[in-house]
Amino acid sequence: MKSKTLTSAIRSLSLLLLVSATCALAQESRPVHLTGLINDYSPLDPNIKGSPYEMHGQWSMDVHPERSTADFSADMTMSGYGTTAGVLDATKGGAGAHTHHIELTNAKITWDMTGCPTYATSPPKMGFQFNNTVSLMTGNGNNAPFETNPPSSTLQVCVTGGDDVKYSLPNANITLVFGGPAATHFGTQALHGVVRDASADFIVKYR
């Protein structure tokens, strides 16, 4: 009887250890999810029809540290300004309002800020980036009028922030820089945003 009880206990313990190990492995391979907002504008540029534009939106990102890849998506609204006597009038916002949905999948991560946009004040101390051809670029739900089919625009995404010290956030800022056809609509300058939610120890652990 004691032998049967001991055998049963050993089997239960083995099953518990197996389940615990499986759960730990699944937790380690789970992607890190980041979200945030984009709020910026493009300058008046004769090469960009309808500029200047205001741009507002939200973005999300799944980072796979074990593969050093990321999946990124953004949903944005854009609108220009009306004119008064042929001159742009900032009091007449909302002209040419439209939306964009943007996706970039399985992009290889570089764990540094080399080549990322700079900041004049309080520059970030650390960060990571990825750059690849977008997998989706819409305009009001359709393939964007400036985009090729399939898409050929490129997007550089940089996530940066402060040191890993008290009263500092390693993941604080995000910038988007478009290349290819999309640059004729968004411009070539960096579009700025904020990181709203991320794992505090993510960058420190995997940089």
Quick: pLDDT tens for 5-40. 545 544 443 433 333 443 444 445 688 999 999 999
Per-residue pLDDT at 107 exceeds 90: yes
The owner of tokens 């040419």 is 96
Q: Looking at residue 46, what DSSP letter applies?
A: T
6 SS3 class: helix
Give pLDDT, residue 93: 84
| Contact residues for 33 (Cβ-Cβ < 8 A; gap 6+) | 60, 61, 62, 63, 197, 198
pLDDT interval class at 202 (50, 70, 90)? low
Can you tell me the distance from the alpha carbon of 77 to that of 66, in angstroms, rounded to the nearest whole number?
Answer: 34
What's the burial of 47, exposed, middle or buried (CB within 10 Å: 0-12/13-18/19+)? exposed
Give pLDDT, residue 13: 38
Count other Cβ atoms within 10 Å, centred on residue 27. Answer: 8
34, 73 Cβ separation under 8 angstroms: no
Give pLDDT, residue 15: 38
Per-residue pLDDT at 94 exceeds 90: no
Question: What are the pLDDT digits (tens) for 48-85?
Answer: 888 899 999 999 999 999 999 999 999 999 999 888 88
Q: Report the C-alpha dihedral over residues 80, 82, 83, 89, rounded to 10 degrees.
A: -70
Q: With b meaning 16 or more CB within 10 Å and e meaning fewer, what string describes 90-123?
A: eeeeeeeebebbbebeebebbeebeebbeeeeee
| Contact residues for 181 (Cβ-Cβ < 8 A; gap 6+) | 144, 146, 147, 148, 152, 153
Once rounded to an integer, what is the mean pLDDT over residues 174-189? 97
User: Could you state, in order of their start, the residue ranges of all structural domains in the chain?
Assistant: 1-30, 32-206
Whether pTM > 0.85 for this model: the answer is no
Give pLDDT, residue 18: 39
Give pLDDT, residue 89: 86
